[in-house]
Amino acid sequence: METKKRTPYLLIGALFYLVIPFLYLFLADFPERTTLKDGISFLTIGAFFLMLGQFYLTRINKVTLKGNKFTKVIGKHKVIGYVFIPVLMLHPFLVVVPRYFEAGVTPYDAFMTMITTFQSSGIIIGLIAMALMVLLGITSMLRKRMKISYRAWRLSHGLLSIIFVILATWHAIDLGRHTDVIMSTYMIIMAATGIFFLLRLYFLQPQLKGGNNE
Amino acid sequence: MSINSISGCIGCGTCVQSCPTDVIRLNEKTGKAVIAYPADCQICHLCRMYCPVDAITIAPEKSIPVVISWG
Amino acid sequence: MSNKEKQDKEKRGLSRRQFLGLAGGVVGAAALTTIGMKVQWNTNEREIDLENFSSSIAETDILVIGGGMAGLFAAVKGHDAGAKVLMVSKGRLGSSGQTPFAKGIFAYDAAKESMSLDEFTDTVTASAINTNNPVYTRQMAEHSLERVNDLKEWGFFDSPLYNKAFSKPIDERNIPVMERIMITHLIKENGKIAGAAGFSLDETKIHIFKAKSVVLCTGAGGFKPNGFPICDLTHDGTVMAYEIGAKVTGKEWNDGHSGSMDNPAACYDGWHGMFDMAPSTNTIDVHHDLGMEGNYSAYVLGNPVSSGPGSVSAEGGPYVPDGFDREMEESGAPSGAPSGEDDGERPSGPPPGEDGGPPSGDEGGAPGMAASASSGGASAGMAIHKSEGLVPINEKGESNIPGLYAAGDALGSYMAGGIYTQIGSSLAGSAVQGAIVSEAAAEYVKGISQPSISTSTISSIKESMLAPLNRDSGYGPAWVTQTLQGIMIPNFILYIKKENLMQAALAYIEELRDHHLPMLRAANLHELRLAHETANMIVSAEMKLRASLMRTESRCSHYRLDYPDVDYKNWQAWINIYKGTDGQMRLEKQLFDAWPAQ
């Protein structure tokens, strides 16, 4: 009985990865900016949390995925990947877009200053995270053409993801416009939870290593 | 205060340079811009306009801090 | 005991706050004093280590001080004339002083204008009631188009921000630019200029510059008024030149900008979007703008000054020459909209200073006029552009000190005279003068060798430069500035002048000069800057009062309630100020049609 009951995992996931952060964004006292600027911020924040939510949509989640077909879940994992990766890839450009519509430095000059501010660890970490994200995206799309086993791919995908998520979270907390103490703490908790369960899967429960959806 | 907030700063230091009245400094530990001397802000918005990531929010009000007599 | 140890020791004792909390007031303070404890009322809680001050020496042919419009052209044209140039600036190139806010630049195109250069010059002279120096008026118009074309090439007209366009010619020529260094002293050795000295705002470092020639492009200044973007301008160049014997002029004139009653300190908002605009050019149209009419009206009728249709104007007041009275323009609207604006969409707010756009001056028009009531004194402490500054001994911006030149608002060229006559001419004049002056400086340096600066000179300069940091107690620059503003900015002192009130104000200013200036303290480099700025404002205030007392007439932007008429018999003259051999401030007349006696 119990095993047949499907948990509404998407709703639960949306609660943690979208509803809570956005509820906080609206309730907290962040300076209000133009619709375009706030829109870009929210898009980026949304993409970031979708990225964190990727942990949730894997086999490490043994709670809320119960009863759901894993191939479907991993399908969602893929779709979400295809959504947040382009947004996060574009976000450095999106940051400077509003400059087209107002007086100030040109978007080009702003962008060049931004990506060459190497005295800022946040920028360097962001650039590395960006490279890792692109790598994760490409290796996912080309997985079937790669001459490695699924298990080896999955292990590398997971380990790479851990490094990526740590750097991306660090970058977001360091440079984010909306990452105050509460938001930062929430991001760290969500990232750390995912990383913890993934590492536990790898190192503490070797019996689960075998994959069955290849 | 004149400059309301600086959020999303990447620490490039452009605002520090661009402020005619030396209001903004980079925090030595974090490397981020801070409103170090708000009393001297002339609300000219150059910092905001030069900021590559548009991190600075400015309000037109200015509350001038109390200057102690004979201080 | 090192300073650090000393500080630490002081910290272990009572802090000022603790002290106030515990003792709370005079009684407690007196009690503590009697038991032999130091009253830490004005203790300088130093944030930096004085032992760590390093110093560096740089050498150049021409030292350009200031990174605005005049400084840009001084650096570029001096370099192109073959001299080794170094630029040093308190702020950032194109982002300090008034230049960043100047949006209109005058360009006289001989091929297109119906008015000849001579006619233009004569019209300005008529509006300025002879206060202009026609040599500089003509020079500005004659070269304005060339400078505008240079600026076009550098991309100046493409952005509301000027740093990039200014950097282009500087970078192309590899001209060294040192930013965020406040120059506090000019150095004179053997009767000639030998360099300058200042300190960095970012590190505990003193900079000594050896130079064969110095071109001051330090702009004008004010009393850090609310509502006008001149709070970094405190006549620094003028005062340090005065200290080494240069003659200074133009202190009795007033810029008459008024400010908005809504958020009066907000310069950006007060200009209604003008700071957001890319610059554009203005054409010939001679005015008599931003004089004392508005301030007179406010004095007689009270604030706020209303202008526009149906407004009551006060009887009497400053004389406006025939043909320049714009009070009754057809529209009846405030005559604010600067003419000649290309896009015609410029808000009625006036362009601030350097931009030359004195707009709606006639009726006390001001930034913010359209949106809210206005109040006078926005630019308090500043004279008409190009009227105050170093006295030129010729048409090339040379001062009475060999090797010391000035250009732009730091030069008392009287390009427009004691009144605004031409929108956009201020920015154009800075560009034109910067180029001409530094070409003259480049010629001057050819014949001379690098001056040497004695170590005793350097050490005494260091001592005076860092003195506010060294004081264990004293007066904070914020307090002294606020006191000075309270003395100088009232309209019955600065704008609508009377002998007895100016004498009274002078007594206060002399007190600040004699007792506060020598006791200014600073806890950090920002405050050190403020301390020097405050000292410069005190000297400037004294100059303004003495010149205004001496000029016993009213003309252009100088208005005396006790001498309300133009005095053509006695006052066809400018006032020069210099430091006498006894250290006292001396004033002299210089006839309108003469260069100063050498």
- CB within 8 Å of chain B, chain A residues 112-151: 113-114, 117, 119-123
Cα of B17 to nearest chain A Cα, Å: 14
Q: Which residues fall within 8 angstroms of residue C37, CB to CB, at 6 or more apart?
A: none
**Residues in A touching C159 (Cβ below 8 Å):** 105-106
Q: Which residues fall within 8 angstroms of residue C127, CB to CB, at 6 or more apart?
A: C286, C287, C288, C321, C324, C417, C419, C421
DSSP C128: T
Query: How many of the other CB atoms lie within 10 Å of CB of A179?
Result: 21
What end-to-end distance do the CA atoms of chain A give, in Å? Answer: 28
More confident residue, C45 or A167: A167
pLDDT for B66 equals 76
Asked if the C-beta of B34 comes within 8 angstroms of chain C's C-beta atoms, the answer is: no
Phi/psi at B47 (5° precision)? -60, -45
Query: How many of the other CB atoms lie within 10 Å of CB of A155?
Result: 15
CB contact under 8 A, B68 and C226: no
**3-state helix vs strand vs coil in chain B, percent to 5:** 20, 20, 65
CB C383 within 8 A of CB C557: yes
CB A81 within 8 A of CB A140: yes
Give domain B3-58's CATH number out of 3.40.605.10, 3.30.70.20, 3.20.20.140, 3.60.21.10.
3.30.70.20
Please give the Cα distance from C13 to C31 (Å, whole number): 17
Strands (E), C32-158: 54-65, 85-88, 104-106
Burial C148-178 (b: 16+ CB within 10 A, else e): bebbeebebeebbbbbbbbbebbeeeebebb
Choose among A31, A104, A113: nearest Cβ to B49. A104
Q: Does the pLDDT of residue A124 top 80, yes or no?
A: yes
CB contact under 8 A, C266 and B71: no
Show which subunits contact B, needing at least 3 CB pairs below 8 angstroms.
A, C
pLDDT tens digits for A135-146? 999 999 998 888
pLDDT tens digits for C91-144? 999 999 999 999 999 999 988 888 999 999 999 999 999 999 999 999 999 999
Show which subunits contact C, needing at least 3 CB pairs below 8 angstroms.
A, B
Q: Name every residue in B having a CB less than 8 A away from some CB of A.
A: 4-5, 7-14, 31, 48-55, 57
CB contact under 8 A, A177 and B11: no
Q: For residue C82, give the nearest of C449, C451, C440, C450 by alpha carbon.
A: C440
CB contact under 8 A, A103 and C276: yes
Q: In the β-sheet with C573-579, what is the strand arrangement from edge to edge?
A: C389-390, C248-249, C573-579, C585-591
CB contact under 8 A, B8 and A114: no
CB contact under 8 A, A104 and C160: yes
pLDDT for C344 equals 32
Cα of C54 to nearest chain B Cα, Å: 20
- Which residue from A minimizes the CA distance to B11? A120
Tell me the domain boundaries of chain A: 2-208
Choose among B4, B8, B11: nearest Cβ to A176. B8
Q: Using only C-alpha atoms, what is the Rg of chain C?
A: 24
Phi/psi at B68 (5° precision)? -70, 140
Longest dimension (CA), chain A: 64
User: At what angle are helices A121-141 and A150-175 packed, to 10 degrees?
Assistant: 150
Q: Which residues fall within 8 angstroms of residue A126, CB to CB, at 6 or more apart?
A: A92, A167, A168, A171, A175
Cα of B12 to nearest chain A Cα, Å: 6
Q: Give the CA distances from residue C364 to residues A170, B44, C384, C528, in Å, rounded to whole numbers and listed in that order.
A: 54, 22, 15, 36
C85-88/C177-178 β-pairing: parallel
pLDDT for C434 equals 98
Cα of C161 to nearest chain A Cα, Å: 6
CB C393 within 8 A of CB C595: yes
Tell me the domain boundaries of chain B: 3-58
- Which residue from A minimizes the CA distance to C100? A104
Tokens linked to C270: 């007060």
C587: β partners: C577
pLDDT tens digits for C369-389? 344 567 888 999 999 999 999
Which of C92, C158, C161 is the mutation pick for testing A, counting most A CBs within 10 A?
A: C161
Please give the Cα distance from A212 to C562 (Å, whole number): 101
How many angstroms from the chain centroid is the CA of residue C543? 13
DSSP C50: G
- Which residue from B minimizes the CA distance to C91? B20
CB contact under 8 A, C478 and B18: no
Tokens linked to A26: 């609206």
How many angstroms from the chain centroid is the CA of residue C582? 26
Cα of A50 to nearest chain B Cα, Å: 21
Low-confidence residues of chain C: pLDDT under 70: 1-42, 290-291, 304-313, 326-373, 598
Cα of A93 to nearest chain B Cα, Å: 10
Please give the Cα distance from C133 to C416 (Å, whole number): 7
Asked if the C-beta of B31 comes within 8 angstroms of chain C's C-beta atoms, the answer is: no
- CB within 8 Å of chain B, chain C residues 271-290: 275-276
- Which residue from B minimizes the CA distance to A123? B10
Asked if the C-beta of A175 comes within 8 angstroms of chain B's C-beta atoms, the answer is: yes
Please give the Cα distance from A121 to A113 (Å, whole number): 14
Please give the Cα distance from C255 to C420 (Å, whole number): 9
| Interface A-B: count of C-beta contacts within 8 A | 62
CB contact under 8 A, B50 and A99: no
- CB within 8 Å of chain B, chain C residues 518-557: 526, 529-530
Cα of A2 to nearest chain B Cα, Å: 47
At the second CATH level, the architecture of C54-255+383-446 is 3-Layer(bba) Sandwich (3.50)
Cα of A182 to nearest chain B Cα, Å: 15
Cα of A105 to nearest chain C Cα, Å: 7
Q: For residue C358, give the nearest of C338, C378, C374 by alpha carbon.
A: C338
Strands (E), C93-164: 104-106
Asked if the C-beta of B67 comes within 8 angstroms of chain C's C-beta atoms, the answer is: yes
Please give the Cα distance from C267 to C336 (Å, whole number): 17
CB C414 within 8 A of CB C387: yes
Low-confidence residues of chain B: pLDDT under 50: none
Side-chain-side CA neighbours of residue C318 (13 Å): 37
pLDDT for B5 equals 84
Q: Does the pLDDT of residue A149 top 50, yes or no?
A: yes
Choose among C267, C476, C482: nearest Cβ to B43. C267
Choose among C160, C164, C275: nearest Cβ to A109. C164
Amino acid symbol at B68: I
Which of C164, C182, C202 is the mutation pick for testing B, counting most B CBs within 10 A?
A: C202
**Residues in A touching C160 (Cβ below 8 Å):** 103-104
Please give the helix or strand (H or E) that residue C579 lies within, else none. Answer: strand C573-579
Tokens linked to C51: 């032992």
pLDDT for C343 equals 33
pLDDT for C345 equals 33
Q: Name every residue in A having a CB less than 8 A away from some CB of C.
A: 102-106, 109
Query: How many of the other CB atoms lie within 10 Å of CB of C109?
Result: 12
ipTM: 0.95
- The domain defined by C469-572 folds into Methane Monooxygenase Hydroxylase; Chain G, domain 1 (1.20.58)
C85: β partners: C62
Please give the Cα distance from A111 to C389 (Å, whole number): 41
Asked if the C-beta of A97 comes within 8 angstroms of chain B's C-beta atoms, the answer is: no
Cα of B71 to nearest chain A Cα, Å: 34
Q: Which residues fall within 8 angstroms of residue B41, CB to CB, at 6 or more apart?
A: B1, B2, B3, B21, B23, B35, B62
| Interface B-C: count of C-beta contacts within 8 A | 96
- Which residue from A minimizes the CA distance to B29? A120
CB contact under 8 A, A117 and B11: yes
SS3 A75: helix
Q: What is the SS3 assignment for B20-47?
A: CCCCEEECCCCCCEEECCHHHCCCCCHH
C305: β partners: C374
Cα of B44 to nearest chain C Cα, Å: 5
What end-to-end distance do the CA atoms of chain B give, in Å? Answer: 22
Q: Which residues fall within 8 angstroms of residue A81, CB to CB, at 6 or more apart?
A: A54, A136, A137, A140
Which of C40, C199, C269 is the mutation pick for testing B, counting most B CBs within 10 A?
A: C269
**Residues in B touching A31 (Cβ below 8 Å):** 4-5, 7, 57
CB contact under 8 A, B11 and A120: yes
What mean pLDDT value characterizes chain A? 90
CB C136 within 8 A of CB C395: yes
Burial C402-423 (b: 16+ CB within 10 A, else e): ebbbbbbbbbbbbbbbbbbbbb
